[in-house]
Structure 1
Amino acid sequence: MKKRKRVVILGSINVDIILQLARLPKPGETMKLQGFETAGGGKGANQAIAAARSSADVHFIGRVGADQYGKQMLSLLQENDVNSEHVKIDADKPTGQAYILLQQSGENSILVNSGANAFIQKEDVENARQLIEGADVVVAQFEVPIPRIIEAFEIARQAGVSTILNPAPALKVPDELLELTDLITPNEVEAEMLTDIHVDSKTAQRRAAEKLKAKGAKNVLLTLGSEGAYYLTEADQEESVAAFKVEVADTTGAGDTFIGCLAAKLAPDFTNIAQAVRYATKASSLTVQKIGAIPSIPTEKEILAK
């Protein structure tokens, strides 16, 4: 029997409050909602569940509050075969929340209350040291404190474990963290913030990727929304991968689905990056056709059937 890839996610756990509206309101304008619902979310939880639904053995490091939302999210992780042994219940802080303004066009704007996600401690990472050392890959995003990511990536690097950094939401990345990153995966906005290069052409994409590599990241993968993805590897292998053309209902969670599925399928030495990126691209094209983050994440069977 083929061994399942062990993916460790250090990340955020939120409850998404989805507000459906025709368009964003103008300053001073009052609008009626077209719909309202709640769903599981948080970039970390989304990516973990995406990886688990693509047959990875997924373990989570994070925090939730001692509230109803926290109970719901722990149950949701467990129902999706994500090991939550290293998710601590914080008695003082609420579970993270994200308010998603979903427009009729499928575009979204998101307001985040970090809650317990912002209070992950060094001891949380240290307590998971053996877990990290036994992983195939460690994945992190910027909805948790950057010092915790550095600590986790240091443990991974010392153990020869691959690291994937999803620098979202857009923040400057310390060089210390880039030097511990085997693969960085910014989108267009994040890439421009990190490199001051507007990645609107393949030439610009390569320049941005080269700049990130010069700062320490070994491999670079730019996610470009409807334009697909571009990657440049440590061995100077590059490729632009086209997106699938589909009808978009909601882009929430598309990037997280991509990252989670990529982590589940990418070999530790990145030799199958072309196949893994295509698999992740197909997965995210399925996600955008449904509303909600976690509810829209496809299974491996659904991805391979397309």
Structure 2
Amino acid sequence: MTIKEIAQIAGVSVSTVSKIMNNKDQSIRSETREHVLKIAKEYNYKPYSSIITSSSGKTLCLGIIFRNASAVHNSISGMIAAASSCGYSILTRESNNSVEQELKNILALLNMHVDGIIWEPVSPDSLDSARHIRHANIPYFIINSDIEHALNIDFQQMGYLATEALIKARHSEIACMLRNGTRTKSFFQGYRQCLFDHNIAFDERLVFYETDGLPISKITNHIFSGIVVSHYAAAIQLYKAIDTLHYAIPHDLSLVSLKDSLRIKTDYPPISTLPIPYYDFGTYVVDYLIHIIEKKDGIPKLALSFKLEHHLSIDIPYNSRLKKVISLGSINIDNYMNFDQLPHTGKTVTSPAASIYPGGKCINEAIGIAKLGHQVSAIGRVGDDADADFLYEYIKDYPVDTFGIRRSKGLKTGQAYIFVQKDGDSMISIMSGANNAVSSKDIIENERLFVNASYCLIQTEIPMEAIIKASHMAKKYNLITVLKPSACSSLPLELLQNIDIISPNLDELGEICPGGQSLEEKAGQLLSYGIKTVIVTMGAQGCYLREKNLECRIPSGNFTSVDSSGAGDAFISALVSYLLYGYEIVTAAKIATYAAGLSTTRQGTTPALIDKDTLESFIRQKEPELLHASKQ
């Protein structure tokens, strides 16, 4: 602080300040003298003559400026220990979140001739005060700040690790709760980066600030299964609120938080925490500063350890406790075009309307299962493009676990081109894209999805290697396998021997069992491979069901068809759903026939898939006794 700056603050001339500070103030009023001396003391101003006569040697003293004493953490202990071990003492000052007080602190430390300063600035505007430190020609470090070149604990990495701990426990719906503070931005960036790296779509609806209140309704409705919290005090508040409502952590919600281990010693509630290594950080900063002061060679490396204390508040997701269905197969964008008459060789036709929907048998059957009230996990591949973003966003509206859906860099998301005739008949062409990247590795990496599932739905529009691996994995965990053969000419015996239920349409049956045999003979051939149930869907004629000791035909209802392209997926979704509800196979197939018929009355595949309430309301009008049939 210069004499000119003191004069400006006091509102007097430079000569007035000089006279007062050098005891030549006989002609100056006492009120002015007291006013100038008060300001000089506040800003630790000393006349130049006193400075040049002071010692220019080392004081072996370091200055530390904290922005707020109430937030002083374990790092001060590390700083004191590191300084003491090197023969230095420490002077601390507090800025009380005031830029003006911060300047006074800097000047005070400079007037005490400290050898270096560790500075936690109040705001980016504080940097202007750094000129006084530079003018004194002593080293200084800025800590705990977003300012460029500041030394900080890597809270981004801590946010990443907290989120990853939940992902490793099979969570994919993960919320983030934040409290305003210096760590908040970095912690949130780590959370978001971890989701991205694990192919989990970011949902801004799952980000909460403490000031907005606790997300209790979303917790009780199981909108998310795990949450990471930036501040331990907020985590305790959340834990107690959940406990008051008689929900349990981690049964209903898994919780991970950061924790300042010095300030909070309690082990209750038992929250899984990542202790913030403030002590080690404080030690490093002081060691580094002394390294610079004493002009030692090399630069010390900042190597902080982040380790989860325990897993007491982490468990598998709540919904994973329920038996799930796995849907494996193609994932596409369905491009619909409507025609009066389908195109054929040598003829050009025009379409008056077109529309786009998420599709592919994996997604269709997953959403169909979800609409009928069951938990489902999807396994497949999408591209690294905007279509993949659209699919992820669309699936958010359904309780479908997308952990097993991975992006394939450099590939496009699969495309299905669906041509629909006025009477509902359709034809489909497929550009496989990322679907061709599905491999046995995808099955192995998602093995945990098979552990708590009951059915595995397999479709054949992906590489056979992955299909066979999935069939073996399903048998390893005693899942019932359901195969929908499509876009294939033959099926290997190794696959057929692992299938429990197969449901081709008439054309698909002809592909996998070529020759002139009858429908019944071809179904018998499939049973001979070890398949337990064969159900052949026949459009408006219903379906044919065959088991070792059972054979029947189930007629279809009378429906006005608009689009039949998703009927097969609607049939399988309903069949498996009602088998899960405990209905025997014939009843489930009858219900599935209604679901398939209703799906043909709407345009599109996923939009046409029927929900449980609508389906059962329709059946009660047509065949009420069906829903009251005896269960297995």
Identity %: 30
Q: Which amino acid aligns with 1:45?
A: I
Sort the Cα spacing of 1:165 and 1:25 in 2 relative to 1 into closer, same or farther, 3 A. closer
Separation in structure 2 between the aligned mates of residue 92 and residue 217 of structure 1, nearest angstrom = 39
User: Which moves more between the two structures, 204-213 or 102-111?
Assistant: 204-213
Q: Does 1:215 align with 2:533?
A: no
- 1:174-194 CA-partner distances (Å, limit 9, x unpaired): 011000001111110111222
Contact 1:243 1:281 in 2 (8 A): yes
Task: Name the CA distance, whole Å, in 2 between partners of 1:5 and 1:54.
Answer: 14
- Give 1:60 shift: 0.5
Q: State the secondary structure of the residue aligned to 2:575.
A: helix
Offset, 1:33: 1.3
1:164–1:183: 8 Å Cα contact kept in structure 2? yes
CA distance in 1, matches of 2:513, 2:452: 33
CA distance in 1, matches of 2:332, 2:425: 20
Q: How does 1:83-98 map to 2 (within 5 A)?
A: 83-98=401-416
Match of 2:562 in 1: 249
2:545 aligns to what SS in structure 1?
A: strand
Distance (whole Å) between structure 2 residues aligned to residue 119 and residue 216 of structure 1: 30
Instruction: Give, in whole Å, the separation in 2 of the partners of 1:111 and 1:198.
Output: 27
In structure 2, C-alpha distance between the alignment counterparts of 1:169 and 1:27, rounded to whole Å? 21
Any idea what the Cα deviations from partners look like across 1:139-162, whole Å, max 9, x if unmatched? 111111111111111011122111
Q: Does 1:226 align with 2:540?
A: yes
How far apart are 1:297 and its partner, in Å? Answer: 0.8
Distance 1:293 1:15 in 2: 11
Deviation at 1:271, TM superposition (A): 6.8
Asked whether 1:99 is paired with 2:417, we answer yes
Equivalent-residue separation in structure 1 for 2:495 and 2:469 (angstroms): 9
Provide the aligned C-alpha RMSD in A: 1.8
The amino acid of 2:537's aligned partner reads T
| TM superposition shift of 1:102 | 1.0
Structure-1-length-normalised TM-score: 0.92
| Superposition deviation, residue 245 in structure 1 | 1.1
Q: Which has the higher contact order (CA 8 A, sep 6+)?
A: 1
Q: 1:300 offset after TM fit, Å?
A: 0.6
Q: Structure 1 residues 293 and 196 mapped into 2: Cα distance closer, same or farther (>3 Å)?
A: same
Which amino acid letter does the alignment assign opposite residue 208 of structure 1? Answer: K
Letter of the aligned partner of 1:294 in structure 2? Answer: T
* d(CA) in 2 for partners of 1:49, 1:190: 23
- 2:443 is the counterpart of 1:125: yes
Letter in 2 for 1:166: K
1:237 matched to which residue of 2?
550
Partners of 1:177 and 1:237 lie apart in 2 by 23
For the residues of structure 2 that align with 1:260 and 1:198, how far apart are their CA atoms? Answer: 31
Aligned-partner SS, 2:607: helix
Residues 192-213 of structure 1 deviation map (CA, whole Å, 9 limit, x = unaligned):
22223568xxxx3322211001
1:171 Cα shift?
Answer: 2.5
Greater C-alpha Rg:
2
The structure with the largest strand share of the pair is 1
Q: Is the 8 A contact 1:64 1:117 kept in 2?
A: yes
| Contact 1:139 1:164 survives alignment (8 Å) | yes
For residue 150 of structure 1, the aligned residue among 464, 468, 473 is 468
* Cα gap change, 1:89 to 1:26, in 2 (>3 Å): closer
Unaligned runs of 5+ in 2: 1-320, 619-632
The answer to whether the Cα contact below 8 Å between 2:567 and 2:600 also exists between their aligned partners in 1 is yes
Residue equivalent to 2:574: 261
Matched residues in 1 for 2:368 and 2:543: separation?
18
SS of the aligned residue for 1:296 comes to coil
Count of matched residue positions in the alignment of Structure 1 and Structure 2:
298
Q: TM-score w.r.t. structure 2 length?
A: 0.46
Which of the numbers 586, 591, 597 marks the counterpart of 1:285? Answer: 597
Structure 1 residue ranges without an equivalent (≥5): none
Aligned to 2:495: 177
Opposite residue 440 of structure 2, the aligned amino acid is K
**Partner-residue secondary structure (3-state), 2:453:** coil
Aligned equivalent of 2:609: 297
- Does structure 2 retain, via aligned residues, the 8 Å contact 1:133–1:161? no
The one-letter code matched in structure 2 to 1:127 is E
Question: SS of the residue aligned with 1:109?
Answer: strand
Instruction: Report the counterpart of residue 245 of structure 2 in structure 1.
Output: none
Q: Secondary structure at the residue paired with 1:136?
A: strand
The equivalent of 1:188 in structure 2 is 506
1:85–1:184 CA distance, 2 compared to 1 (3 A): same
Does 2:356 correspond to 1:44?
no
Structure-2 change in CA distance of 1:274 and 1:97 (3 Å): same
